[in-house]
Amino acid sequence: MADASIGLWTVPLAVLGGAIRVSTPFLFVSLGECITERSGRINLGLEGTLVMGAMSAYGISYLSGSPWLGVLAAGITGALFGALHAGICSLPRVNDIAVGIALMLLGTGLAFFLGKPLIEPTAARLPAIDFGWWSDVPQVRAALRINVLFLIGVAIAPLLYWAFKTTRWGLLIRTAGESADAARAMGHSVLLIRLRATMVGGFLAGIGGSFLSLFYPGSWNEGLSSGQGITAVALVIFARWDPMLCLWASLAFGGAAALGPALQSVGVTSGYHLFNASPYILTLAIMIITCSPKRTLTGAPAELSITR
């Protein structure tokens, strides 16, 4: 049996496979949040957006039979939630962190409400590309069955890095994030820039949600996302608002999140729940190590309320 022949290698292999599989939602949410935060606003509601995205993707995929339509629907839902967040935050004296918490509750509630009839049926799932065809070991093949969304996410990270650095849009977003007054003096509407940045951020987070329901774990239920959205928001902070660092951090997180199930598959079950909490513990640990009370974080957009 192949299982016996690779023995303890199962764990690192499963962690690698998990790093690729589990990291995708982290990657999309953190890239989306990266855009939003670079424009000077924080959207804590992406947890709700993620769940809404997962639900709408599953629903549309089930109704239309096309998972890609589902992905699009998830993105649009996410963009609408982003618009809602940005719209409320445009009002005077409204705290963007509080609005995020509200949208987290609203998004989760709405997804559970509308998703009730979707728990039973099975929707068409996203296809995977088999990169492990050269291997005979089933675990290797399982680890290398990679979804196209992951590849898209990996491509978006350097694209975003380049866009922030060299394009007009990137400069506008960064200006709005560093100094709203400067952007205003240049004749741009800060609110409009932030609205667009939050909508694009929501779009990406929604797609991250579609991955949850349409590929891995690949079904819709109410326990689908347990804090991935909020972990991804924290991840942006220690990735220092750099899209490339978001990519590496997401991979590390995916690996950490896959540790629990991987250990369970080889018979280590005692600390199952604690291993499952490892992404949160890791996030907290990294934030403790990298933050400092004495200075603002390097790379932090100056307008961001969370670092002020």
Partner 1 sequence: MTAEVESVDAAGVAPAADPGFLQRYGTSIEYILIPCAALIGALAVFGGFVALYGKNPLDLYFYMYYGAFGTAFSWQNTLTRAAPLILTALCTALPAQLGMVIIGGEGALLIGALSATSAALALQGAAPIVVQIAMVIAGMIGGGLWITLSGGLRQYRGVNETISSLLLVYIALAILNHLVEGPLRDPASLNKPSTREIGAANMIGTIPGTDVHWGLAFGLVAAVAAYILIYHTTFGFAARVAGGNIRAARIVGLGVGKLILTVCFLAGACAGLAGMVEVAAVQGRTNANLAAGYGFTGILVAFLARQNPVAIIPVAILLGGISASGGLLQRRLGLPDASVLVLQGIIFVFVLASDALYGRIGFLKGKS
Give the footprint of partner 1 on this chain (CB under 8 A).
44, 48, 84, 88, 91-95, 97-99, 101-103, 105-110, 112-113, 116, 226-227, 230-231, 233-234, 237, 270-274, 276-277, 280-281, 283-284, 287-288, 291-294, 306-307
Query: Whose Cβ is closer to partner 1: residue 10's or residue 307's?
Result: 307
Tokens of 3: 């299982």
Minimum CB separation from partner 1 for residue 129, in Å?
32
Least distance in Å: CB of 141 to partner 1?
31
| Min dist. Cβ of residue 171 to partner 1 (A) | 27
Taking the complex as a whole, the smallest distance from the CB of residue 98 to partner 1 amounts, in Å, to: 5
| Residue (16 or 239) nearer to partner 1, CB | 239
The helix or strand, by DSSP H or E, that contains position 147, with its residue range, turns out to be: strand 145-147
Which CB atom, from 105 or from 182, has the smaller least distance to partner 1?
105
Strand partners, 145: 130
Q: Which is nearer to partner 1, 98 or 185 (CB)?
A: 98
Closest to partner 1 by CB, 156 vs 234, is 234
In this structure, the strands spanning 128-130 and 145-147 are antiparallel
Tell me the β-bridge partners of 129: 146
C-beta of 66 vs 290, nearer to partner 1: 290
Least distance from partner 1 to the Cβ atom of residue 65, Å:
25
Q: SS3 letters for 26-71?
A: HHHHHHHHHHHHHCCCCCCCHHHHHHHHHHHHHHHHHHHCCHHHHH
Of 162 and 272, which has the nearer Cβ to partner 1?
A: 272
- As measured in angstroms, the least distance from the Cβ of 219 to partner 1 is 18
Cβ–Cβ under 8 Å, residues 307 and 297? yes
**CA triplet 140, 126, 211: central angle to 5 degrees?**
85
The count of residues in the chain is 308
Helices and strands, counts by H and E, the chain: 14, 2
Q: Cβ of residue 292: shortest distance to partner 1, in angstroms? A: 5
| Minimum distance of partner 1 from residue 128's CB (angstroms) | 28
Radius of gyration of the chain (CA): 20
Q: Which is nearer to partner 1, 4 or 289 (CB)?
A: 289
What is the full DSSP assignment across 57-111?
Answer: HHHHHHHHS-HHHHHHHHHHHHHHHHHHHHHHHHSTT--HHHHHHHHHHHHHHHH
* Residue type, position 166, single letter: T
Per-residue burial over 107-139, b = 16 or more CB atoms within 10 Å of its CB, e = otherwise: bbebbeeebeebeeeebbbbebeeebeeeebeb
The partner residues of 201 in beta bridges, in order of sequence, read: none
